Structure 1
C-alpha cells in the first residue's frame, strides 16, 4: 500500500445514521448520539491530519460527514416539505470544511410555506446548535434572495456556491435563475465589485501578505484569494475551478500547478491552526507558530534560521504566489471582457500599448532578447499613463524566466539594462517593486530569492526581509518627493545633492540580502554587493561605496542610539570610521530609510532629531579635519558663556547668573547645550528658597521629545522614585543625564516620550508629571512602588535571557543591559540599582521591538568605578529583579540567548 493510501485509510468512516422519521423531531437521546458522532468524526480527522492524510481529503471528508448529520436533522424536523429546500453555502457549499469552519446554510421557501414551516425550522436550527454545529443561516423566499443578491455582491457570491442538501429539489432552479441572470451583476460589474471588495479587505492587513501574524483566510494571498479566482472565473467564463480555467485560457498548466501547491500549503496551515487553537482562529498568531513548525517537521538550522522562520517562509511564499497569480488572472478576465478593436500604439521597437497595457511586438521577444524582461519595466516608467503589463505579456515573461533560469543573471546585456534602470533614480524604485511582483528581481539577484518570505522571529522586524527591503527602497524614493520635504527636510536636501542616486538604491537593495544564512549578514551582504556591482561594470570607487554602505549600514543607528553623541570623542570616532562626506551622506539617508522601513512604530521625531544631530556633528568634524576633537575645557567655557548670555537676555543680573552657574556640575557644560543649561538655571532661580526643583517642557532642547529636569539633594532611591513615577504615568525615557554637583545636589535630565504613541507628551501630561513628582519627592522617605504588570500576549513569546555586561569608562563603570522588554522595566532596573547601592550618572535607553538595549554609567557610593565583587552583586540583583528562571540563572545568565 502506498504511503498516501495508508494515510487515507486512517480517515474515519462517514456517519451511518438511521433514517429519520419526517417531522418526528430529535430526542434528547438522539441529540446526545449526534454530538458523539460529530466528536468521533473530528477526533478521527485530527488523528488523520497528524498521521499525514492529505488535507484536501480531510476537509472534504468533514463536509460530507457534516452534510449527513445536517440532512438527518432536517429530515427529522422538517421532512419532505414540497415548498422548502436546504442549501449549503460558503465553504460548506463548495464541499470544504475545516475543523472549526462555519456551517453556512440557506433555507429557500415559497412565501406560503414560511408560516407553515416556521416552527419546524426553529426546531431544526435549535437542534443544530444543541449538537454543537453553530450554523450560520438565512431563511428567504426566492424574491428576497433575488432582491438581496441584486444589491449585495456578497450575497450574490454566496449563491454561486449553493449546493442542495435536502428538501424540494425544484427550488434549485430558482437559485440558478438568479446566478445566471445577466442583468444581476453582469460579469464586468461583478469583477469590478469583487476587486473593490478585495481592496477593502486587504487594506485591513496593510496591503501585504507579510504581516507577522497573517490572516490565512482573508489576508492578501490567503485562501479567500483563491476563492475569489473561482468566483470570478465562474461569472466571467463559466470556469469555476483551476482545471476549467486552463481550458478557457485563463491559466496555463504551470500556473495551475503553482496555485494547487499554494492552496495545499494554505489548507495544511489552516487545518493545523484550527486544531492548535481549538476554535475558528484564522490569524497565524505567535501563540501557534512555533508549535505548528514543530508539528510539520521543521527544525532549527542555526540561530539565524529557526524552524519557525522556515515554516513562516513557506507560508509567505505560498501566499505571494497566490496573490501574484490572482493579479494576473484578474487582468486576463478584465481583458476578456473589454470590447475588441483597440488600436495599438507604438512605444518603442519592442513594445506597443493596447489600451492601458504594454504588449510585446513579437511573442518570442523575451526568449530572443532576455534584457527586454528588464526593459519592459523601464518602458512603463517612461509611460506612467499605462496601467501595467497585459496578461499575455505577464505569461510570456514567466515562461522566459523559467527558460533561462540562473543564466538570466549571468547575461551582460541584462546587467546593462538593470544599470540603465537604476540610473532613473527615485522612479526606479517602483519599477523594482513591479519586477519583484513578477519574479524578475529574484531572477536577477539569486541571493534575493533566498530572502523572499524570510521572516525574523521578533517584534522589531515587522516585515519579511524582501518586504522590508522594498519599503526601504520606497523610503529612499520619498526623499526625492517634494511633498516629503517637510517630513525629511535634511534628507531631502541631502538626496538632491547625490551625484549617483543609483548607488544608494543598490546599497538599500543589498543591506539585508544575507539575512538568515548564519554569520554576520552585513559582511556576507558586502560580498554579494561587490560581486553584483562588478557584474554591473561599475567603477571601482562606486563599488567600494556600495559595499561599504552594506557592511556598515547599522553604524549610524547604533552610534546614535547607544552612545552619547554630545560627547565629541564619540562623534570623532564615528567620523573617523566614516571617513568622508560622501559616505556620511549616503549612510545618513540609508539609516533613515532602514529604520522607517523596519517598523512603522520605530520612526519618530526623536529618532529623526538624533540622527540629524549626529549627521551635522560628523559633517562638521569632517570639514574641520580628523584631528583630535576640541579640548573639553574649551567646550565647557564656550557653553557656559553662551548660557550666561541667554540668562542675561532673560533678565537675570550678572551676579545672579554667576551664582546659578557656579552651582552646576562641570559635566553640565560638556553634556548639555547652552539653551538647556539656561532653561535649567531659570528653573532653579524660580525655586526660592533652595529646595527640590522640578521643571518640564513639552519640547526638549533637541526636539522630538518632552523634557524633565530634577535638581535636588541626593538621597537613596531618588532615581528609582522618579522612574517609578514616570512608569505609572506611561512615560518612556529615551535619554537621561544624571549628574552630581560639588555640593551634593543631583542634576537629572530626562528626555521623554509617550510610552504608547512614542511621540512627545503634551503639556497637560507633563503638568500631571510635575505635580506627581512634587508629591513623591516631597515625602520624607522615598519608597518607590514598582508596579508589576503582566506581559502582553505578544511579548510573552519573545522572552530572552538577560545579558549584563560591564566595561570601564574613565573613572566609572558602564553597564550594558540587553533583555526583553516589559512594562515598567526601567523602574525595576532603577530599584535594583538602589538595592545594590550604586549611583547612576548617565543612561541611554533604546528599545528594538521586544528587545531592550540600555546603557548606564555607574559608580559606587563613593563615586568610584564598581569593583568586581560589586559588579557580581549588581548582576545577581538585576537577574533576580528581572525574574530570570533558575534554569537560566546558572552563573552564565549574562550570555546572550
Structure 2
C-alpha cells in the first residue's frame, strides 16, 4: 500500500482505540459519536486533499462539493459505520467528479472505511428525493465537508424550501418507508433479539422524527424542533435520554464484534448486563433487568415518534369538516363522528386530567369502535404524565371494567393506558411486568407486550367462524376473560411459581375491583390454571380416559372449560409467530371435545363402556371387509384380521382413523399367516397436523422399546422432526406410530411457484419407510450420523444463553398403570433418539410418548413401566433413571 494510505489507516485505528477508551470509561454515547465523526472527517478530508492535489488548477473544482449525509451527516457514527458521501456536481464538472469519486472510493476502502458514494447534480438530488423517501431522509441530514461551499449552500437552501412545500407527500412517503423497514426488522419494540438501529423504538424512530421535522420545518435538530414548539418538552427529554443510551449500546456492539453489528443477540445481552453493572433483583436476572432498561427506552421513543407522526399527518380540512358535520353528542363533553371520538375544546383541559372521564372516553371508543382524535389524546397524554398516582375511585374502577367488557379496540386502548402508567394505578403489580424480558427463545415478547397480544388474540375471535370463535362469543362475562388474559403472567419475575404468585395477585385485584365472590374465584382459578390445558393437551395421552377424567375434575364445569380453552388459545397465539401451530390447536380442540362430551353425556372417552369404542370397532371391521373384497383377500386372512381386531387395546382403537388401522391390521394378519418376519412400515399424510404419520409394526421377543429406539434414530437421521409418538403392544407385536415433519416429503404443486399449495410426496415417504425397515431389521447395523444443521452466523447462539434448568420429573399419581417421565431440555439434533436408546438400556417398557417442542426447548413426556409392568416408585431406581437421562440431555 502507498505510504499515504498506511498513514491514514494508522490514523483511523488510533482514533478508534481512543474512542474505545472513552467508551470504556462510560463516556456518553453522543460524545463518543462526535469523536468518531471528527475522526472520519479528518480521514475523509485527507483522502479528498490527496485526490484533488493533482487537479489544483482545474477550474471545474469550483463546481464540485463533497457532502456527508445520513449517519455521517448527523455525526452519530458508530465505530464501524459506513461513510455516506455525495459529490454534488454541476454538469460541466461531472467528468472531474467521476475521477475524484474513483480515488475516494479506492482509498477509503483501503484505509478501512466503507464508503457509500454517489455523484449527483443538484437537480438530480432533489428529483430523487421527492420520489424516494430513503434518498430524501439521507440528504435531509447533509453536511458540507469540502469543495465549493457556495454550491452546497445554494443547493441546500433550495432543498430545504422544496421539502417544506412538499411536506405532506414527503411525510407520507417517509412513514411508509419506515413501516416497511419495521415489518422487516420487527414491528414491536419488544423483540427477543432486537436490532438497535432498525427495530421499532430504536434509533431509526428518533431519526424518523428528525426527517419529518425537516420536511415540515426545515430542521432536523431536536433542540430546534423543541424551540419551534413541534416537540413537547417531555418527549424531547425522553428522546435525548434514549438516544444516548442506544448510541452507547450500538458502540458496544461495534467494538465487541470489530465490525458493523446492530443486532443485540441473547449472548451479548448477558455479557453487556454483566459489564454494565446490572445485578438483578429477586426473580429477575441481570440480563432481564438490562433489557427492561432497553425496552423502557424504546417504548418512550416509540410513543414519542407515533405522536410526532400523527401530528404531521393531520387530517385534511375536508375530512375534519365531515367529522364535525356528522358528529353527535355522547354526553355534555364528548362528541363522536363517523370514524373518531373526541372531547369538546372548552372541556378538554379539565377532562384530560380526570381519570374517570378518561376511562369513560376509552370505554366509549371501544364500544363504538372509534379512534380517539389525536388532539384529544395528546391533551390526555400530557395531563396524565403530570398526574400524581393515586388509588382509583369507584367511578374509575367501573369505567375500567366497562372498557374490559367488550372486544372492540380493547388491546390498543389497553396499550395506551399502559403507556400512561394508568393500568398500574388500578393494578399496582402490573408495574413489575413493564418491559420484563422472558429470557428464552420460546417467548418472543416481554411479559407486558405478550399480555396485550393475548387480549388482542382473544378479541380477534369475535368474527372468527371456527369453534374457538363460537366459544368466545358464548362467553357472557368477557371482562373476566379479558382481565384474566391481561394479568395471567403477572406473577413472573418472582422466585416462586408464577401461576401461584399470579393467583394471589388475581385475588387482590378482584378485591380492589370490587368483583363479586363468584367472579373473583373464577379469575383466581383462571390465572392459577392457565397452563393446565397446555400440560394435558401437549404432554399427555388424550385417548386415556384417566387423563380426561382428571382434567374434567380439575375444571369442574362447562363454563370454566370454555373460559380456560379460549384463554389457552389466546395465550398461545401471543407467544410468538408460528407457535400456535395447527397441531397444537388441534390438540387443544381434541381435549375440549373429549372433556365437553364427558360433561354433556357422562361418557368417558376411551373407557371400556364408551359407546364410541364399539362404533370405532364396527367401522374398522367394515373397513377390513371392504378392503378384503377390494384386494381379493382369502377368508383366512379376513378371519385372522378380525381376530386381531378383537384383541386391540381400547387406546389403539380410539386413536387412529378406521381405514388406516384396518390396513395395518390386514398387513399384520397376512404376515402372521405367511410365517414371515420383518418390520412393517407404512406412511400416510395427516392433514390435521400437517405431518406424515409413520406406522412401524414389528414382532418382538424382547421389550418393545427396542423398536421405538431404532425407529426414532432412523427418523431423526433421515432429517425428520418427530412431533408425537404412540406405542402399543398387541400380542407380541410392537405397534408404534410416529408423526413427523419432513420438508423433503412436501413438494410444490407447481415447481418453483411458492404461491401454490404443497402436496404430499408419497415416494419420499416410502423411501423413509424402506430405510426404517432396513435399520430396524438389522439391529447390529450402526445408525448413520445425524445430518448437520446449519444456522446463519447472526442467529447462532452459544449454550451460555440456555439458562433454564434441564429437568427429569417423575409422576406416579396421574395414571395408575404407568410412571410418567417428563423431560425438559434444550432441543438439539438426535435428542429424542438418544433418550429412547437410554430408556432401552434402562430396560424400561415404553407405552406412549409425546414430543412438545417450543422453538429451542422441548418438554418430552414418556409413559413407562418396569419390565414386570410395575411403576418406578423406588427412590434409588428413580435416581438411577434421572441421572442417566440427565447425562444424555446434558
Structures share a fold, TM > 0.5? yes
Aligned counterpart, 1:405: 388
Per-residue deviation, 1:112? 2.5
- What is the SS of the residue equivalent to 2:314? helix
Residues 1:600 and 1:235: Cα distance change in structure 2 (over 3 Å)? closer
Give the Cα separation in 1 of the matches to 2:414 and 2:236.
Answer: 26
Q: Does 1:257 align with 2:243?
A: no
Give the Cα separation in 1 of the matches to 2:886 and 2:340.
Answer: 62
Aligned counterpart, 1:459: 441
Per-residue deviation, 1:207? 1.8
Q: Does 1:698 align with 2:662?
A: no
Give the Cα separation in 2 of the matches to 1:226 and 1:756.
Answer: 45
Give the Cα separation in 2 of the matches to 1:780 and 1:713.
Answer: 14
Residues 1:812 and 1:630: Cα distance change in structure 2 (over 3 Å)? closer
Per-residue deviation, 1:226? 0.7
Give the Cα separation in 2 of the matches to 1:771 and 1:588.
Answer: 41
Aligned counterpart, 1:783: 782
Q: Does 1:619 align with 2:596?
A: yes
Aligned counterpart, 2:808: 804
Match 1:830 to one of 836, 843, 861: 836
Per-residue deviation, 1:437? 5.0
Aligned counterpart, 1:14: none
Give the Cα separation in 1 of the matches to 2:574 and 2:826.
Answer: 22
Aligned counterpart, 1:719: 708
Q: Does 1:182 align with 2:162?
A: yes
Per-residue deviation, 1:747? 1.0
Give the Cα separation in 2 of the matches to 1:120 and 1:317.
Answer: 46
Q: Does 1:222 align with 2:205?
A: no
Provide, for residues 94-133 of structure 1, a one-character-per-residue CA deviation record: whole Å limited to 9, x for no partner: 1221111111111122232232454444223322221111
Give the Cα separation in 1 of the matches to 2:216 and 2:402.
Answer: 40
Match 1:311 to one of 287, 290, 296: 290
Per-residue deviation, 1:61? 1.2
Provide, for residues 860-880 of structure 1, a one-character-per-residue CA deviation record: whole Å limited to 9, x for no partner: 556565677765555554444
Q: Does 1:145 align with 2:125?
A: yes
Aligned counterpart, 1:819: 825
Match 1:853 to one of 859, 881, 890: 859
Aligned counterpart, 2:760: 762
Q: Does 1:495 align with 2:475?
A: no
Residues 1:658 and 1:553: Cα distance change in structure 2 (over 3 Å)? farther
Aligned counterpart, 1:170: 150
Q: Is the 8 A contact 1:720 1:830 kept in 2?
A: yes
Q: Is the 8 A contact 1:805 1:817 kept in 2?
A: yes
Residues 1:337 and 1:775: Cα distance change in structure 2 (over 3 Å)? same
Greater displacement, 261-270 / 796-805: 796-805
Greater displacement, 676-685 / 572-581: 676-685
Residues 1:171 and 1:582: Cα distance change in structure 2 (over 3 Å)? same
Q: Does 1:605 align with 2:582?
A: yes
Match 1:571 to one of 542, 548, 555: 548
Aligned counterpart, 2:693: 707
Residues 1:156 and 1:835: Cα distance change in structure 2 (over 3 Å)? same
Q: How does 1:220-299 map to 2 (within 5 A)?
A: 220-299=200-279
- What is the SS of the residue equivalent to 2:784? coil
- What is the SS of the residue equivalent to 1:815? strand
Give the Cα separation in 2 of the matches to 1:864 and 1:352.
Answer: 72
Give the Cα separation in 2 of the matches to 1:160 and 1:210.
Answer: 29
Give the Cα separation in 1 of the matches to 2:645 and 2:783.
Answer: 27
Aligned counterpart, 1:20: none
Give the Cα separation in 2 of the matches to 1:207 and 1:516.
Answer: 25
Give the Cα separation in 2 of the matches to 1:733 and 1:761.
Answer: 20
- What is the SS of the residue equivalent to 1:697? strand
Aligned counterpart, 2:771: 772
Q: Does 1:514 align with 2:491?
A: yes
Q: Return the structure number with greater helix share.
A: 2
Q: Does 1:130 align with 2:110?
A: yes
Q: Is the 8 A contact 2:628 2:638 kept in 1?
A: no
Match 1:200 to one of 180, 191, 202: 180
Per-residue deviation, 1:575? 0.9
TM-score, L = length of structure 2:
0.88
Residues 1:542 and 1:807: Cα distance change in structure 2 (over 3 Å)? closer
Q: Does 1:112 align with 2:112?
A: no
Greater displacement, 467-476 / 628-637: 628-637
Q: Relative contact order (C-alpha < 8 Å, sep 6+): which is higher?
A: 2
Aligned counterpart, 1:479: 461
Provide, for residues 597-642 of structure 1, a one-character-per-residue CA deviation record: whole Å limited to 9, x for no partner: 1122221222122111211222233335699995579987675455
- What is the SS of the residue equivalent to 1:180? helix
Give the Cα separation in 1 of the matches to 2:808 and 2:68.
Answer: 60
Provide, for residues 698-725 of structure 1, a one-character-per-residue CA deviation record: whole Å limited to 9, x for no partner: 127x765432211112268432321122
Aligned length, in residue pairs: 846
- What is the SS of the residue equivalent to 2:307? helix
Provide, for residues 10-57 of structure 1, a one-character-per-residue CA deviation record: whole Å limited to 9, x for no partner: xxxxxxxxxxxxxxxxx8233222222221211121121111111111
Give the Cα separation in 2 of the matches to 1:805 and 1:359.
Answer: 56
- What is the SS of the residue equivalent to 1:822? coil
Residues 1:105 and 1:863: Cα distance change in structure 2 (over 3 Å)? same
Match 2:2 to one of 10, 28, 34: 28
- What is the SS of the residue equivalent to 1:514? coil
Provide, for residues 284-329 of structure 1, a one-character-per-residue CA deviation record: whole Å limited to 9, x for no partner: 1223111111121112334x41111111111112111111111111
Match 2:348 to one of 360, 363, 368: 363
Residues 1:558 and 1:354: Cα distance change in structure 2 (over 3 Å)? closer
Residues 1:870 and 1:467: Cα distance change in structure 2 (over 3 Å)? same
Q: Is the 8 A contact 1:468 1:597 kept in 2?
A: yes
Provide, for residues 814-839 of structure 1, a one-character-per-residue CA deviation record: whole Å limited to 9, x for no partner: 43322111122112222333444444
Match 1:48 to one of 10, 18, 22: 22
Q: Does 1:538 align with 2:515?
A: yes
Greater displacement, 867-876 / 836-845: 867-876
Per-residue deviation, 1:58? 0.6
Note the aligned Cα RMSD (angstroms). Answer: 3.2
Give the Cα separation in 2 of the matches to 1:674 and 1:75.
Answer: 80
Give the Cα separation in 1 of the matches to 2:758 and 2:537.
Answer: 19
Per-residue deviation, 1:672? 3.6
Q: Does 1:586 align with 2:579?
A: no
Aligned counterpart, 2:728: 739
Give the Cα separation in 2 of the matches to 1:767 and 1:127.
Answer: 60
Residues 1:187 and 1:231: Cα distance change in structure 2 (over 3 Å)? same
- What is the SS of the residue equivalent to 2:200? coil
Aligned counterpart, 1:552: 529
- What is the SS of the residue equivalent to 1:816? strand
Greater displacement, 754-763 / 143-152: 754-763
Greater displacement, 91-100 / 639-648: 639-648
Greater displacement, 609-618 / 757-766: 757-766
Residues 1:297 and 1:183: Cα distance change in structure 2 (over 3 Å)? closer
Per-residue deviation, 1:174? 3.5
TM-score, L = length of structure 1:
0.87
Give the Cα separation in 1 of the matches to 2:530 and 2:11.
Answer: 61
Give the Cα separation in 2 of the matches to 1:278 and 1:665.
Answer: 70
Q: Is the 8 A contact 1:609 1:704 kept in 2?
A: no
Q: How does 1:639-650 map to 2 (within 5 A)?
A: 640-641=617-618, 643-648=620-625, 650=627
Residues 1:371 and 1:760: Cα distance change in structure 2 (over 3 Å)? farther
- What is the SS of the residue equivalent to 1:371? helix
Q: Is the 8 A contact 2:186 2:200 kept in 1?
A: no
- What is the SS of the residue equivalent to 1:182? helix
Per-residue deviation, 1:427? 4.8
Structure 2 unaligned spans of 5+: 747-756
Match 1:389 to one of 373, 386, 405: 373
- What is the SS of the residue equivalent to 1:166? strand
Greater displacement, 370-379 / 762-771: 762-771
Aligned counterpart, 2:754: none
Give the Cα separation in 1 of the matches to 2:411 and 2:294.
Answer: 26
Residues 1:741 and 1:241: Cα distance change in structure 2 (over 3 Å)? same
Aligned counterpart, 1:11: none
Give the Cα separation in 2 of the matches to 1:671 and 1:778.
Answer: 24
Aligned counterpart, 2:399: 417
